[in-house]
């Protein structure tokens, strides 16, 4: 039988946007630059993401089911699996089947509970779907919510001023439901962005970078992609967060200098060589 597993692979389950660097459009080049094969499982195909005034969407739930069957028959094994945007409650069930089919004792599963930001759910995202995302936590080794998503998952009211002690309690509650590692990303603190790192049994840590102008689409997708890729490469969790934070900082500066619209995401193409350097360090 042909061996398709000679190269380390990461399956990424999320939407695909034709324009606007977010979700799979952001994850594929990042993971590839870190010398890992990215195997996309689109949950939907968008003309461009929902941050644009106009967009069209094609649901791909049926194809997701066929992908599970085809990949199982092909004998694929994955070093990592990452989940992102899911568009329906049915897709929660499909993703659970994917994880139950392909998880092993040796691979790493990252759940990015994409549902909202700044205290609000994304357009078209229901509270029922947001609540069901919690069903994926028992499968996760790593969880990467922003503050809004962490609040929804723990039933807390959104506030932008949670204390360090409160963030620890939030992360501990999430960790008790599955993931040993949690990072709450994108906490705004004055002129800085803080990522709060929780690892079960360790003291919490924070990674801070100066805020570079406006928030941009796809930042969280790039953040999660670097973390899963670096984890698969054997990099310690806190360093994965450092690497992701620094890559985003540099890319944000370049993107702003280029004058790209916020909706267009980060100009990752300009900094993929920075990820190549991480591979060779």
Q: How many CA atoms lie within 13 A of 231 on its CB side?
A: 23
165 within some domain: no
118 within some domain: yes
Tokens of 62: 């049926």
59 within some domain: yes
Domain membership of residue 94 as a residue range: 9-144+216-271
Sorted by sequence, the CB contacts under 8 Å of residue 160 that are 6+ apart come out as: 119, 147, 188
159 within some domain: no
Dihedral class, residue 149 (left if φ above 0, else alpha if ψ from -120 to 50, else beta): alpha
Handedness of CA 146, 114, 143, 20 (dihedral sign): negative
Neighbours of 123 (CB within 10 A): 9
Report the C-alpha gap between 267 and 255 in whole angstroms.
5
Domain CATH code at residue 105: 3.40.1190.20
pTM: 0.95
* pLDDT score, position 281: 79
* pLDDT score, position 1: 59
94 within some domain: yes
Start-end of H helices in the chain: 24-33, 61-74, 89-102, 127-132, 147-154, 164-176, 219-232, 237-258, 272-280
Start-end of H helices in 42-126: 61-74, 89-102
33 within some domain: yes
Interior angle at CA 80, CA 131 and CA 144, nearest 5? 40
Number of domains into which the chain is organized: 1
Dihedral class, residue 92 (left if φ above 0, else alpha if ψ from -120 to 50, else beta): alpha
**3-class DSSP state for residue 218?**
coil
Is the distance from CB of 227 to CB of 144 less than 8 angstroms? Answer: yes
228 within some domain: yes
Segment-wise mean pLDDT, segments of 10 residues, the chain, 281 residues: 89 96 95 98 93 90 98 97 95 98 96 93 86 96 97 95 96 98 92 94 94 82 97 98 96 94 93 94 79
Is the distance from CB of 230 to CB of 239 less than 8 angstroms? Answer: yes
70 within some domain: yes
Report the C-alpha gap between 251 and 138 in whole angstroms.
33
* pLDDT score, position 268: 96
């Amino acid at each position: 039988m042909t061996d398709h597993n000679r190269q380390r692979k990461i399956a990424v389950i999320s939407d695909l946007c034709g324009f606007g660097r977010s979700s799979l459009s952001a994850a594929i080049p990042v993971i590839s630059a870190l010398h890992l094969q990215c195997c996309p499982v689109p949950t939907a195909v968008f003309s461009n993401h929902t941050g644009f005034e106009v967009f069209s969407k094609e649901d791909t739930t049926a194809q997701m089911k066929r992908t599970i069957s085809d990949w199982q028959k092909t004998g694929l094994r994955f070093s990592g699996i990452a989940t992102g945007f899911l568009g329906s409650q049915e897709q929660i069930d499909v993703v659970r089947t994917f994880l139950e089919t392909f998880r092993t004792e040796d691979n790493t599963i990252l759940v990015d509970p994409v549902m909202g930001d700044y205290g609000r759910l994304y357009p078209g995202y229901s509270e029922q779907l947001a609540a069901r995302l919690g069903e994926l936590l028992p499968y996760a080794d790593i969880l990467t919510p922003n503050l809004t998503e962490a609040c929804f998952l723990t039933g807390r009211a959104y506030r932008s001023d949670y204390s360090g002690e409160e963030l620890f309690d939030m992360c501990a509650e999430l960790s008790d439901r599955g993931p040993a590692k949690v990072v709450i990303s994108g906490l705004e603190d004055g002129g800085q962005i803080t990522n709060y790192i929780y690892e079960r049994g360790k003291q919490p840590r924070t990674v801070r970078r100066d805020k570079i102008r406006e928030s941009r689409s796809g930042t969280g997708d790039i953040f999660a992609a670097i973390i899963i890729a670096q984890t698969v490469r054997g990099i310690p969790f806190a360093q994965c967060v450092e690497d992701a934070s620094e890559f985003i900082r540099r890319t944000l500066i370049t993107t702003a200098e280029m004058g790209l619209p916020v909706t267009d995401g980060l100009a990752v193409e300009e900094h993929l060589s920075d990820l190549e350097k991480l591979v060779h360090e």
